[in-house]
Structure 1
Amino acid sequence: MAGNNAKESPRYTLTEVLQTALHQGLAVAAWRLPLQPEVQLCVSFTPQTTQEIPTLEPSPAGFLFCPFQADAVHPHIFLKADLSFSSITGELTQSPDAPDSQAAAFFQALENGVQRQSTNWPFPDSNPNQSDRTEETFQAAVSLAVDLIRAEAMEKVVLSRSHSVPLPDSFELTTAFEQMLSVYPNAFVSLTAIPGIGTWMGASPEVLVSVDKQQVFKTVALAGTQPASEDGSTANAIWRQKEIEEQGMVERYVLSCFKKLRLREYTEVGPRTVIAGNLMHLRTDFKVDLKEVDFPTLGTDMLRLLHPTSAVCGLPKEPALQFILANEGYNRSYYSGFLGPVNSAVGTHLFVNLRCMQLLETEAVLYAGAGITGESSPDKEWQETQHKLQTMFKILAEF
């Protein structure tokens, strides 16, 4: 036990640290893992960008923010945790190799209370190529996809759309983040603000790759969507053949990745019905105990094989991807990419960037997609995207 004269570390609030980072024009990510009380945050003085999916295992602690497809405007971004904050302790700690001068300037700004001045969030350097789809044009793209699937050009494709709405005059970033934490306890809730790249918030239901501190690897197959029942119970969920088959495709895709790596020792639980916000999905969980299976690079290997998963792209991957690029009518950028902490105190936990929005100066761009199979109805797929957009609408409506 420390002596009585040991100096206690100062305690800060999430809002103080987050707003100081924004005010200083630094890259920052804040997040909370599903069903956990702790909100974590990292500030990065020099974000690193790459066109390749980064290697996880030797990485320093930090946060990854990665696009659907990397290009010059939307690279994979790693925010090294130069400063780390925990809402449980209220402590802000400096990593041993963080530049002392920048860390000292940050702590000084924090002590001076600069965060109490009005704070803007970063916008992307180049305007996002948004063209909000009408119901008619989205349904036409779905019909075209169904025709190609029935002609056996592909098995499944995920079509998405963006929807821009004016930001409410009273919108406040940290309040919106706290709303998401409160409303979506089962989700991976995140806020990422990177100068030149922009500001994204979301509440994702889908684990892509996770390796916890017990060295257990996890991924999920998540597909099929219907509105959650009013009582929040899954007992009366009835799934149509279309959703069961769609979820089965994602499951088979995960298994095909294990097969490519010659991995046979895994456990599989599901499919079962799970609730994510205002929706229900079918989910199968896969686990590998890396203490028993000698596969130290499984996290990176599976990440590179899985992304973009059949839950956000389609099957087979190549024709589905080509259809998306030719027919969606916009660049997804970081929507349906992946994000999350890497080598943090609780491990590496990467989630698919779903149920999210991008914040511009005066508007929010919301994103949603639907899995199209040979059984799809264009009207039902439009309705599914409408339901998914509600996850972020609900947060904006609070203002």
Structure 2
Amino acid sequence: MSFRLSARDGALALLAAATALMAHAQGGGAYRIGEVNSYKAQPAFLEPYRKGMELAVEQVNAAGGIDGKKLQLLVRDDNGVPGDAVRAAEELIAREKVDVLMGSFLSHVGLALTDFAQQKKRFFLAAEPLTDKIVWEQGNRYTFRLRPSTYMQVAMLVPEAAKLGKKRWAIVYPNYEYGQSAVATFKKLLAEAQPGVEFVAEQATPLGKVDAGSVVQALQDARPDAIFNVLFAADLAKFVREGNTRGLFEQRAVVSLLSGEPEYLDTLKGETPSGWIVTGYPWYAIRTPEHQAFLDAYQKRFKDYPRAGSVVGYNAILSVAAGLKKAGSADTEKLIAAFRGLEVATPFGPITYRPQDHQSTMGAYVGRTALQGGKGVMVDFQYMDGGRFQPSDAEVAKLRPAAR
């Protein structure tokens, strides 16, 4: 059977070809950023994170882009699974031809992408995963990390924990890389700050599957003077609800990693315990010009308030933009050189990516939880500059022997 294109069909074919060429040309005039993250697995943090990225992309592009080239964001979901994350990264590089790879939330997923970056010799900005291994034991020359690490955030809390003067401590944490790392660092630093401290109970729970009743009972049976908590998201809500019901937190000090972030306080609502020492993000009470500008822009764009994830997503795009500007291209080696010592202006003030271990000096807020108007907030807080809570160059050299 033979056929001939009608005039109309021919015109449509030409139009489709022209559109494809135009799209290709536009893509060629943009820096394509491939972002891999656990959007479905961790929506409380990552939906605001995505909004923060989108706001930063819009602002950079509205200002003319990077030397005239716009930013284009391509997002993939990794389902919280390392293998899925690697496959998504492969697809972004091979099929979508992205210039820069960034993202990840869960620490074990971030480590998989860190290894992928080394294997493929591609620049990777780990925006959110907190494990210290990303910049130390398993660090490599291709990977940089934005958010303050587990070590840094625990180091921010330890001086406050030591001031409590409590001898007997119990610990509860999610039993994967992030939780294990947080606990090891807390034990080490608190023992150094408060010789003679005892750790009388330790509850390691499956991520996302905490049996809150048995955990709370085990902690009560140990009769600790204080508790160090590393649970977050739904696990934290279950732990707090059960602990409130059984009186675990009455007359007992609690130091808790990340629990002052609005992502988690919003979930706790009126069940928020008062007086916990936490790291977090009190967006409603930060009075600096840099943060106010970000807050105004975010609320105008999304008709919502920012969460901690919003700032991380925003800062990640600002970091990539600053790196591309300094490098003058998306060439991997030029980006690596640009990011070593890179300074970035953020809503938390200026941050720097350390040449020693590729960790940024982005900090966090430390304060206490309180109930105001039926919802959880942070009070008595102060900003902790991340640059103050990182090991010395000599220590980093020992921790990062294989990275070049």
Normalising to structure 2: TM-score of the pair?
Answer: 0.27
Normalized per residue, the structure richer in strand is 1
The structure showing larger relative contact order (alpha-carbon pairs under 8 Å, at least 6 residues apart) is: 1
Q: Which is greater in Rg?
A: 2
